[in-house]
Amino acid sequence: MRRLALCTGLLAACNTNTPDDDYHAFLSRADRARPDAGVDAAHPTGHFSDISGNWFLRADLTAGLDLGLRVRMCRYMESPTEADWTRCDPLTEPGRLMVRLWLEKQRIGVDAPLVETSSTVDEGGHFVLTADPLRLPADLVGSDIVALVVMYAHITRAGSWCGDADGEVTQPPGLEIDGSTFAATRDPDQTAKHFELPFACAADDGVPDPGGDAGPGDDATPPDAGPPPGPDGAVPRPASPDLTDVPSVAADVSGHWLVTARLANGFALQLWLSLVYAGGPEGGTLDGAMHKTQDAPGTPAAATFTTTVTPDGRFELWLPTFAMQTNLGRLEADILLSAVTASADAFCGEGAGQVRRPLAMSLEGATFAAQRFVPGTAAPPANEVASACAAP
Amino acid sequence: MARRLGRDSGLFVRTQGGALAALVCAASVCPTPATAAPMHVARMDGLRGDPVDTGPFAFWWNPAALARPGRALGLHGLFAMRAASYDRDAALNDVAPDEAAANAGLATIDTAGVIPALGFRQGFADVGPFDLGFGLGFFVPFAGVADWARHPDAPAEHPGAYDGPQRWATIHSRLVFLAGSVGFGAAHRASGVSLGIAPTLYYGELATTRARNVDRSDDLVDVTGELKEGRIVFEADDIRVGFNVGLRWDASPDLGFALTWHQVPEFVMDGRAKVAYGTADPFSIGAELAFPLPDLFRAGASIGLPGGWVLRPFLEFARWSVMERQVAVSKGEGQPLIEIERDFDDVWGFRLRCDTPRWRGWGATFGGGFETAATPTSTHEPGLAEGESVEAMLGLDYTFEAGVRVSLSTTLQTFFARDVSDSIQKPTTNGRYTDDRVFSTLDVEVPF
């Protein structure tokens, strides 16, 4: 609709370069793991080969669904008959494919396909598969799912194909697809079982992980990504931020908290913290768990901790080798949070330490503030809530 | 000068300039930045387009003029070219010598394209003491398209450098506002006073990509030597309603005065951003960007002189101070994704046009103009920024016996070269800017 409006207004030839193309061209030049069809074929990350035939595609959707699909791919024909699909001409050179998708429980050539689409494989082995709509029946996941799924695939050196996917779930609303991964395995006899197969590209550019347990973000780990060990092999604890000028009071901070942190460079981050306080006038202890704000109640925590609380409500959390999956990929950091308790409904403080992945960043100068939170509800935007202690 | 890579003709093209540019661009259709104040490309009716215009595009220029007997259809085409440059100074932007080849130097852009518009008006005489009329049309009031030249000879070890040294501010942006308007006018014959209003539906679409680091630096690599430079592309759109209000007083057949207020809504561009920071996994996220556009106030006069000469002075005020700071944020978390300092100033423009006496159906118009700067030097950047400019214009028209009028015009607009050394953008955008534009119009008015 938007493109139609633009074309109508400008009488423009619309098949042209866009800012989005420039974005993907950069990813390709930077030789990122994410493949993208049709961009900058001079810097391919895939390898063209004939991928016609039957495949089993296993996808790990970020919505939490482990999905198996059967795929038949043949050289493209206009208005193909069932005989054309059965013959299935090979793709001997880069060009267009016709593609059909079935559920794992269905039979290729017997059952009606779930989706019929086409795609073009470029010289670098990139192609995009669009399933629009992809309708998954209720017996698969408990309720009907209707989604637009775009799979960005590339052919690996081994002649298989894999990649990641994005798109939009239209029913039920609220499910995420972006960041999903998939990998395909040849399955001429339709005997593959999805739990035996990989669902993501392996780290070495395109060979599906034979173990199949490489989750998103586990690839491309820099060789120096591990925590810098101290003399005894432990991660050295940074110096605690000085909060002596910030008043603090003893209070029961048990409950759920939305913690909004802002790094010195302005970057903001929000977490959901669950705390259980046990103590009295002499101080006490704090047991806690850390989640993403989007996590549903009951979701396993990214980290758990125990710390002590001073009689005036000060406490510190030292989380060496902390790891969590985020929008930026896998976050790995050594985090020290020094906090003061402002009241039973607020605590705040400063941070120290180092983020190692996905970007190297110091936590020096980072601040945070926490407010009561109801898990499962939408967190207020980070720029609309406090992210530091109020000035004394 | 950096070499340029050809792209498909289409919404816009980049060219090597000169005659080749004209040939290539004539085959393409695209909006281009901009005139009057940043992004204004409404030049319907050529050099007649001002508050005293009575043509088929009066719904935009001044809907009060719709209240005139007669009926006419107007077809408009704007052919625009722009040649601009930004020389990012290494010393002024604290670019290390070993990164100068990737982060400093000359960036250029040559853009051309065509913007069409369609207008219609119908007037009714002697409705009691009034003349009445209405008009409608489709047009592009604001647009800005910029695809900066690529640098294939940039250092290959820095994959971002290919997109040019201006890439931290913009690589490729496309901002287009389409509009449809229906206007009504009423003129009190005895007093010569007319009033008009034209509600206008705007559809805005923005797509922009730029280099982006999470810390807003222009670092190419991080402390470990890994790629730090990233990219962000933001695509969004919005629909809003505004209106034009016009007042006109025809003191005599040779003397008219007119005021127009263009109330332009504030857009909230709603869409998605794709972000790739350094070696982090790229991700896509819902995002939005508040995009205020200025209300425009125009005042003009038509002064008939002896011998058939007509002077048309025209004053314009654009309330660009509404553009303070632009931050594209992620939905939900409110994470800043793109932050651009603006701090724009209101813009004043003045133009004087002179119509020659008509001779056997022929007429000519010439004139000149001046505009103040919207952008202070501290926030000047290669994307949406403009300094002071002057312009000269020349037009020619012919009216056939059947009443069909064809007009051609050309306006040369040049912006005074700017040397910026106090940039508050992150990364800084200090350096030297040049910008020259040519706008040619073809208008056909068909009365029937």
CA distance A319 to A333: 8
Is the pLDDT higher at A170 or at B313? Answer: B313
Do A190 and A274 lie in a common domain?
no
- Which of A164-178, B88-102, B431-445 is least confident? A164-178
At A328, list the tokens.
Answer: 């930026």
A269 half-sphere exposure, CB direction, 13 A CA radius: 24
Asked whether residue B4 is assigned to any structural domain, the reply reads: no
> Which conformational region is residue A64 in: left (phi greater than 0), alpha (psi within -120 to 50 degrees), or beta?
left
With beta carbons less than 8 A apart as the criterion, state whether B6 and B14 touch: yes
The CATH number assigned to the domain holding B206 equals 2.40.160.60
**How far is the CA of A185 from the CAs of A162, A207, B206, in angstroms?**
9, 11, 40
Do A190 and A268 lie in a common domain?
no
The alpha carbon of residue A147 and the mean position of all alpha carbons in its chain are separated, in whole angstroms, by 18
Mutate to test the interface with A, among B333, B338, B339 (most CBs of A within 10 A): B333
Buried b (16+ CB within 10 A) or exposed e, A223-241: eebebeeeeeeebeebeeb
Pairing of strands B389-399, B362-371: antiparallel
Q: What residues form DSSP beta bridges with A282?
A: none
B252 half-sphere exposure, CB direction, 13 A CA radius: 5
Do A147 and A289 lie in a common domain?
no
With beta carbons less than 8 A apart as the criterion, state whether B257 and B212 touch: no
User: What percentage of chain A carries pLDDT values higher than 90?
Assistant: 15
Our CA dihedral for B1, B7, B10, B12, rounded to 10 degrees, sits at -20
**Position B61 pLDDT exceeds 90:** yes
Do A192 and A302 lie in a common domain?
no
Count Cβ atoms within 10 A of the Cβ of residue A289 and give its class: 0-12 exposed, 13-18 middle, 19 or more buried: middle
At A380, list the tokens.
Answer: 């207020």
State whether the Cα torsion B37-B39-B43-B47 is positive or negative: positive
Do A190 and A311 lie in a common domain?
no
ipTM: 0.88
The CATH number assigned to the domain holding A329 equals 2.40.128
Chains A and B form CB pairs within 8 A to the count of 172
With beta carbons less than 8 A apart as the criterion, state whether B107 and B86 touch: yes
Domain end among A162, A196, A230: A196
What is the three-class DSSP state of B60? helix
At B362, list the tokens.
Answer: 């022929």
With beta carbons less than 8 A apart as the criterion, state whether B206 and B236 touch: yes
Do A303 and A181 lie in a common domain?
no
Which helix (H) or strand (E) segment holds residue A27: the answer is helix A19-29
Do A262 and A185 lie in a common domain?
no
User: B222-269 pLDDT, tens per residue?
Assistant: 877 888 899 999 999 999 999 999 999 999 999 999 999 999 999 999
**Is residue A15 within 8 angstroms of chain B, CB to CB?**
yes
Asked whether residue B2 is assigned to any structural domain, the reply reads: no
Do A179 and A327 lie in a common domain?
no
**Nearest-CA distance B216 → chain A (Å):** 8
The CATH number assigned to the domain holding A7 equals 2.40.128.120
Asked whether residue B3 is assigned to any structural domain, the reply reads: no
Q: How confident is the model at residue A279 (pLDDT cuts 50, 70, 90)?
A: confident
What is the residue range of A20's domain?
2-196
**Nearest-CA distance A377 → chain B (Å):** 11
Do A46 and A120 lie in a common domain?
yes
**Nearest-CA distance A89 → chain B (Å):** 32
Task: For A178, name the nearest residue in chain B, comparing CA atoms only.
Answer: B284
Asked whether residue B7 is assigned to any structural domain, the reply reads: no
At B68, list the tokens.
Answer: 């005139």
Domain end among A181, A196, A211: A196
**Position A288 pLDDT exceeds 90:** no
Tell me the pLDDT of chain A averaged across its residues.
Answer: 76
What is the residue range of B360's domain?
13-447
At A101, list the tokens.
Answer: 């998708």
Do A161 and A302 lie in a common domain?
no
Do A141 and A36 lie in a common domain?
yes
**Position B325 pLDDT exceeds 80:** yes
**Total domains in the fold of chain A:** 2
Integer-rounded Cα Rg, in Å, for chain B is: 23
Asked whether residue A142 is assigned to any structural domain, the reply reads: yes
**Is residue A377 within 8 angstroms of chain B, CB to CB?**
no
Domain end among A156, A172, A196: A196
- Which of B26-30, B45-49, B163-167, B361-365 is least confident? B26-30
State whether the Cα torsion B26-B29-B30-B35 is positive or negative: positive
Which helix (H) or strand (E) segment holds residue B95: the answer is none
The alpha carbon of residue B244 and the mean position of all alpha carbons in its chain are separated, in whole angstroms, by 18
Asked whether residue B411 is assigned to any structural domain, the reply reads: yes
**Position B8 pLDDT exceeds 70:** no
Q: How confident is the model at residue B296 (pLDDT cuts 50, 70, 90)?
A: very high
Do A191 and A259 lie in a common domain?
no
With beta carbons less than 8 A apart as the criterion, state whether A276 and A284 touch: no
At B213, list the tokens.
Answer: 């680091």
Average of per-residue pLDDT across A142-159? 78
Asked whether residue A344 is assigned to any structural domain, the reply reads: yes
Cβ-based contacts of B9 with chain A (< 8 Å): 13, 16
Cβ-based contacts of A270 with chain B (< 8 Å): 333
| Cβ–Cβ gap B276/A26 under 8 Å | yes
**Total domains in the fold of chain B:** 1
Tell me the pLDDT of chain B averaged across its residues.
Answer: 88
**Position B415 pLDDT exceeds 80:** yes
Asked whether residue A379 is assigned to any structural domain, the reply reads: yes
CA proximity to A261, closest of A130, A332, A343, A352: A352
| Cβ–Cβ gap B284/A359 under 8 Å | no
**Nearest-CA distance A16 → chain B (Å):** 6
**Position B10 pLDDT exceeds 60:** no
**How far is the CA of B90 from the CAs of A141, B104, B165, in angstroms?**
57, 5, 10
User: B80-92 pLDDT, tens per residue?
Assistant: 899 999 999 999 9
Is the pLDDT higher at B420 or at A59? Answer: B420
| Cβ–Cβ gap B233/A15 under 8 Å | no
